Amino acid sequence: MTVHIPTEAEAVVAVLAVAANRYFGGTAVIEGLGRESGGASRQTWRFDAVVGGKRHELILRRDQPTRGKTDRERSVAIDRATEFRVLAAAHKAGVRAPEPLFELAAGDGLGEAFVMRRAGGTAIARKLLRDAAYDGARKNIASQLGEILARLHATDPATLPPLVRREAADHIAGLRRSLDDLGQAQPVFELALSWLDRRKPPPLDRPVLVHGDYRTGNYLADETGVTAILDWELAHIGDPIEDLGWLCVKSWRFGAIDRPAGGFGSREELWAAYERAGGRPVDPQRAHWWEVFGTVHWGIICLNQAWKHLSGSIRSMEHASIGRRAVETQVDLLQLLKNAG
Amino acid sequence: MAQDRPTAPELLTAIADFLREEATPALDRTEPRLGFQMRVAVNSLAILERESRLGPEADRREHARLATLLGRDGTLDDLNRELARQLRSGTRDECDAAMMAHLEATTADKIAIANPKWR
């Protein structure tokens, strides 16, 4: 007698069929299930649910509990249930983001998970920046990102789940803690963090929803431009300019270094679009502060990615090699501080 | 005792060339995900090749500069810890031209190993 032990994919299909059935109110057939690239701990699966002859193109976002996450990630990343509610609030506010549909129940056995509609387009920076198919889109993306961000920051706080408030000072303390945990002496990062500390912008009276990872690589775009903002797990409450600064960090230009707005346009183009769409006026000095902050932040994330491998929480050559990218941000920081005078 | 040739950089180059020119195209045809991982590996080997050529001298220069700057001796790690401590406490900052020149030189040596094309 042979006993069939279901593979992980078969188990996921079975759960999705029941859950989709419950949500759509009809027998759902699950087709084309496949893992998207991405983290070992935070999984993304694509699939279609066919219900009564209608095909729904969907995405499952799912957490494997406690695998491959550093303490720092656990402390800054929101859980799936919170991500679902942030996405729902942003989507309702008119942000171009995937429409969240339903959460899976604890009894479904997939861990923390939810299902959203699948948006079209690609997130691959290299294609968006260089392929002929996106020639037209490239002219639009910088201003679209500004417009979408204005809307995102205007999300009604009353519709949001409880989120951590993180101001400039909290961010600086967090990164210093991270350096201490890593136990390596990093003079350039210390220099930049002290520079930031002495110039930090005061907390805002009306902080807003901050996406927290708003950059090229984390949105989908097609031939017409941006279709959906992804990767909401670093959402928090804070300074809206944080998102504008992060988007302009040189590492997110993927080689198009003379176009600071994510590789697609000038800072001024981005800020003008942001203000036209209702965003608060951008103070260039404050934006520069957040760009410097974003650059240290990415540098220390590089060290942390390597640490995931070195500490044994995940074995990954790719993660290990990212540690050697930290110096790129050190080059950028020395340039940024020199230009700041 | 000197090893026979190839030297470490020569051997690393030979491995990287083989992986890039022969193994990667074969993987791209059959296992694109592994093809991507192989590019990461080839890139890392190129870092090691540059490090084996340039690293010892870069470390020596960094060590000498730090000793002069801090006015004391110690291991490279000790001295970097001391500089990091001074920068966090604010004892030194970006107005210290000699220190900034040291950080520029150290970073230039590091990026020449990790990613010489970065700008």
How many whole angstroms separate alpha carbon A77 and alpha carbon A236?
9
When CB atoms are compared, the residue of A194, A330, A337 closest to B88 is A194
pLDDT confidence of residue A41: 62
Question: Looking at chain A, which residue has its C-alpha nearest residue B78?
Answer: A185
Q: Are residues A259 and A133 in the same domain?
A: yes
Q: What is the pLDDT of residues B55-111, one digit of tens each?
A: 999 999 999 999 999 999 999 999 999 999 999 999 999 999 999 999 999 999 999
Residue A3 lies in a domain: no
Q: What is the pLDDT of residues A275-333, one digit of tens each?
A: 999 999 999 999 999 999 999 999 999 999 999 999 998 899 999 999 999 999 999 99
Residue A306 lies in a domain: yes
CB contact under 8 A, A194 and B81: no
Residue A208 lies in a domain: yes
Q: Are residues A196 and A307 in the same domain?
A: yes
Average pLDDT over residues A183-189: 96
Kindly report the average pLDDT of chain A as a whole number: 92
Contact status, residue A204 vs residue A153, Cβ threshold 8 Å: no
Q: What is the pLDDT of residues B4-46, one digit of tens each?
A: 999 999 999 999 999 999 999 999 999 888 998 999 999 999 9
Q: Are residues A82 and A166 in the same domain?
A: no
Average pLDDT over residues A225-234: 95
Q: Is the pLDDT of residue A185 over 90?
A: yes
**pLDDT above 90 as % of chain A:** 83
Q: Are residues A147 and A225 in the same domain?
A: yes
Domain that holds residue A304: 125-340
CB contact under 8 A, B43 and A188: no
AA letter at A45: W
pLDDT confidence of residue A71: 57
Using DSSP bridges, classify how beta strands A112-117 and A208-210 pair: parallel, antiparallel or unpaired.
Answer: unpaired
Q: State the sign of the Cα–Cα–Cα–Cα dihedral A336, A219, A241, A302.
A: negative
Residue B71 lies in a domain: yes
Residue B1 lies in a domain: no
Q: Is the pLDDT of residue A195 over 90?
A: yes
Q: From start to end of A223-328, where are the E strands?
A: 225-229, 236-238
Q: Using alpha carbons, list the distances in angstroms from residue B105 to A188, A268, B100.
A: 12, 32, 9
Residue B33 lies in a domain: yes
- Taking 3-state DSSP, the helix, strand and coil percentages for chain A, each rounded to the nearest 5, stand at 50, 15, 35
Q: Are residues A72 and A219 in the same domain?
A: no
Contact status, residue A40 vs residue A7, Cβ threshold 8 Å: no
Q: Are residues A68 and A48 in the same domain?
A: yes
How many whole angstroms separate alpha carbon A208 and alpha carbon A204?
9
Question: Looking at chain A, which residue has its C-alpha nearest residue B34?
Answer: A318
Counts of helices then strands in chain A (DSSP H, E): 12, 9
Q: What is the pLDDT of residues A80-121, one digit of tens each?
A: 999 999 999 999 999 999 999 999 988 888 888 999 999 999
pLDDT confidence of residue A35: 86
Q: Are residues A86 and A41 in the same domain?
A: yes
Residue A203 lies in a domain: yes
When CB atoms are compared, the residue of B40, B93, B107 closest to A330 is B107
Q: Are residues A192 and A319 in the same domain?
A: yes
If we measure between CA atoms, which residue out of A20, A41, A172 comes closest to residue A104?
A20
Q: Are residues A261 and A319 in the same domain?
A: yes
Interface ipTM above 0.90: yes
Chain A interface mutation, best of B33, B78, B87, highest count of A Cβ atoms under 10 Å: B87
How many whole angstroms separate alpha carbon A112 and alpha carbon A118?
19
Q: Is the pLDDT of residue A165 over 90?
A: yes
Q: Are residues A39 and A136 in the same domain?
A: no
Q: Is A111 left (phi over 0), alpha (psi -120 to 50) or beta?
A: left
Q: Is the pLDDT of residue A140 over 80?
A: yes
Q: Are residues A183 and A257 in the same domain?
A: yes
Hey, what are B14's tokens?
Answer: 């030979």
Residue B119 lies in a domain: no
pLDDT confidence of residue B111: 98
User: End of a domain among A117, A133, A149?
Assistant: A117
Domain that holds residue B62: 8-114
Q: Are residues A201 and A321 in the same domain?
A: yes
Minimal C-alpha gap between A322 and chain B (Å): 10
Reported as a pLDDT band with limits 50, 70 and 90, residue A3 is confident
Q: At what angle do helices A187-198 and B76-89 cross, to 10 degrees?
A: 0
**pLDDT above 70 as % of chain A:** 94
Minimal C-alpha gap between A315 and chain B (Å): 13
pLDDT confidence of residue A340: 74
Residue A256 lies in a domain: yes
Hey, what are A102's tokens?
Answer: 């339903």
pLDDT confidence of residue A70: 56
User: End of a domain among A101, A117, A133?
Assistant: A117
If we measure between CA atoms, which residue out of A13, A63, A12, A10 comes closest to residue A40?
A63
How many domains does chain A contain in total?
2
Q: What is the pLDDT of residues A33-79, one digit of tens each?
A: 998 866 556 788 999 999 999 999 999 998 866 555 555 555 678 98
User: End of a domain among A65, A97, A117?
Assistant: A117
How many domains does chain B contain in total?
1
